[in-house]
Amino acid sequence: MNRREFSKNSIMLGVGAWAAFPNNSRAGIREQSGNYYEEPAKKLPIRKFDVVVVGAGTGGVVAALAAARQGAKTILIERKGYTGGTVTEGGTALHSFYNLWKAFPGVKKRQVVKGIPQEIIDRMMAVGGCSGHAEMVRGYDYDSVCTAIDTELYKLVTMQMLDEAGVFLAVNTLLTGAIVDGGRLRGAITDSRSGREAIYAKAFVDCSAYGDLAAFAGAQYKVPNDYACCNSIGLANVDLDGYVAHLEAHGGSNQLAYGLRSGQPGKVVRFNGGLGGAFRDEARKIGMSSMITTVHDNYLMFVKCNFKVPGSVINRDDMAKAELEVRKRQAKAVELFRKHVPGCEKAFMARTSPTLNIRRGRLITCDYDITHEDVIEGRHFDDEVMVYGFHDNAPRYQVKNGGTYGIPYRALLAAGIENLFVTGMMITSDHRPHMSTRNTVCCMGQGQATGTAAALCARKNCGTRDLPYRDLRAALGKGGVYFES
């Protein structure tokens, strides 16, 4: 889909809105050939900031914190009423703050993502909302640690941190457009119950996962639809030990980690294995994964039912069908636990996400596209802004010798736009390296880089490509970001 089709779709939504209110007066309404409603022009109030960050999810929270701490007047725009994004809704453990040292005997254990992402973990630990970086005792050729979080405390902790940093947190606010002047973004247009507003800034960071700001600004994009979507559920009133015993009895667990659970150390926080028999056969039909991560007794934090969307993941109607299908699968998942797992007879669904999560929406064209070889060969770059060592396809694909690769600054610049950074799951076209760069901790690290860079660009009044790398590198170093050399 190109930009014109995207805009056309927005206009088409107006027709549906009219049909929903058949008693409205038609006086003064302009229609073109009966199929289009022409929206009247409207004056919008302007708010001015140094940096606009769109999307208060995994990368956006960190980007806004980083920008504000550089002294930039920063607004964070989020359509939901809380922060955290897919960290709190889709995933299981936060992959990964460490290199894959356990899979490579002799390789040193290194924490390769630090800075603001680690600060969030410290704050989560302080309120009993994290398992800690629990070492894997089985399945460590996939990840060396399991870092599990309490999803609800993550929302509170990150909102508090943003408040402390002085970020203007515009939750319940939807980005609906962009103001573009040549190749430069001037503003973001938002909608909320306080009305429509034009948010002006010098630098912009798109952390919306779907690349909404980049698309509105006219950036080139594709919609690969190369993953299943999912709405993971929290399953309460379950016997964790009963579930682990079930897995052990049906082929054993192939992933296992012990960490802090309900405040007690040395408890199982991560496990995965064969379901066995009728449970396994029924689970396969609903795309259910047996992988579990938790920080609470009697609670399975993320039970996932995957579903590959036929059609487009940015088409409202295709996704509406998927929302229903996944909810049916979730109900079936609860039924299967009740029926097959001892101690889960009274399990119930305690949490769902407000909408489906997807591992990739739009893919935004950037100045550099990270390749499969960059990741598995552990390549580093002259302009790198962070390093990372996890691959979600491990052990099939791992970063060479338990090392790291670098994320180049260029990979975070929306091609053709002077002052727009992109962050998170919307970068990296090849599915294989995307299986690395899209993971939570990588998105968080990218957020620290783009938020810091956006603040520096705003201060220097320069475009993203005119920011001297040495200045950015120095600021990232001061912010606690880890580099290999």
Ligand X SMILES: Cc1cc2nc3c(=O)[nH]c(=O)nc-3n(C[C@H](O)[C@H](O)[C@H](O)COP(=O)(O)OP(=O)(O)OC[C@H]3O[C@@H](n4cnc5c(N)ncnc54)[C@H](O)[C@@H]3O)c2cc1C
Site for ligand X, rule CB under 6 A: 54-60, 77-80, 85-87, 90-95, 174-175, 207-210, 212, 230, 232, 304, 357-359, 424-425, 438-440, 443
Is residue 62 within 8 Å of residue 447, measured between CB atoms?
yes
Distance CA 263, CA 381 (A): 41
**Least Å from the CB of residue 95 to ligand X:** 4
Task: Give the pair of three-digit tokens for residue 457.
Answer: 């660009």
Residue with Cβ nearer ligand X (78 or 418): 78
Any residues with CB less than 8 A from the CB of 245 and at least 6 apart, and which? 342
Residue with Cβ nearer ligand X (322 or 358): 358
DSSP assignments along 218-270, one per residue? T--EE----S-EE--EEEES--HHHHHHHHHHTT-EEEEEEEEETTEEEEEEE
Residue with Cβ nearer ligand X (29 or 331): 331
Q: Whose CA is closest to 415, among 213, 221, 219?
A: 219
Burial class (CB in 10 A: 0-12, 13-18, 19+), 470: exposed
Residue nearest to ligand X as judged by C-beta position: 57
Q: Whose CA is closest to 161, among 119, 204, 115?
A: 119
Residue with Cβ nearer ligand X (272 or 464): 272
**Least Å from the CB of residue 384 to ligand X:** 19
Give the strand pairing for 195-200 and 46-48.
Answer: parallel
Residue with Cβ nearer ligand X (54 or 458): 54
Residue with Cβ nearer ligand X (93 or 457): 93
Helix (H, G, I), strand (E, B) or coil at 279: helix
**Least Å from the CB of residue 88 to ligand X:** 8
Burial class (CB in 10 A: 0-12, 13-18, 19+), 372: middle
Residue 485: DSSP 8-state:
-
Residue with Cβ nearer ligand X (203 or 209): 209
Task: Give the pair of three-digit tokens for residue 452.
Answer: 């810091």
**Least Å from the CB of residue 258 to ligand X:** 18
Distance CA 323, CA 444 (A): 27
Residue carrying structure tokens 């909102």: 159
Burial class (CB in 10 A: 0-12, 13-18, 19+), 29: exposed
Residue with Cβ nearer ligand X (417 or 441): 441
**Least Å from the CB of residue 345 to ligand X:** 27
Residue with Cβ nearer ligand X (359 or 410): 359
Residue carrying structure tokens 């992988």: 291
**Least Å from the CB of residue 208 to ligand X:** 4
**Least Å from the CB of residue 470 to ligand X:** 27
**Least Å from the CB of residue 206 to ligand X:** 9
Residue with Cβ nearer ligand X (239 or 329): 329
* Residues present in the chain in total: 485
**Least Å from the CB of residue 287 to ligand X:** 11
Residue with Cβ nearer ligand X (56 or 68): 56
**Least Å from the CB of residue 231 to ligand X:** 8
Distance CA 200, CA 65 (A): 19
Residue with Cβ nearer ligand X (60 or 378): 60
Q: What long-range pairs does 26-34 form, CB within 8 A, spacing at least 24?
A: none
DSSP assignments along 36-79, one per residue? EE-PPP----EEE-SEEEE--SHHHHHHHHHHHHTT--EEEE-S
Return the bridge partners of 229, or none. 307, 358
Residue carrying structure tokens 């097959």: 340
Residue 395 preceded by cis peptide, ω within 30? yes
**Least Å from the CB of residue 129 to ligand X:** 17
**Least Å from the CB of residue 361 to ligand X:** 9
Distance CA 177, CA 42 (A): 14
**Least Å from the CB of residue 442 to ligand X:** 8
Q: How far, rounded to the nearest angstrom, does the alpha carbon of residue 416 sit from its chain's CA centroid?
A: 24
Residue with Cβ nearer ligand X (318 or 471): 318
Give me the phi and psi of 51, to 5 degrees please. -130, 135
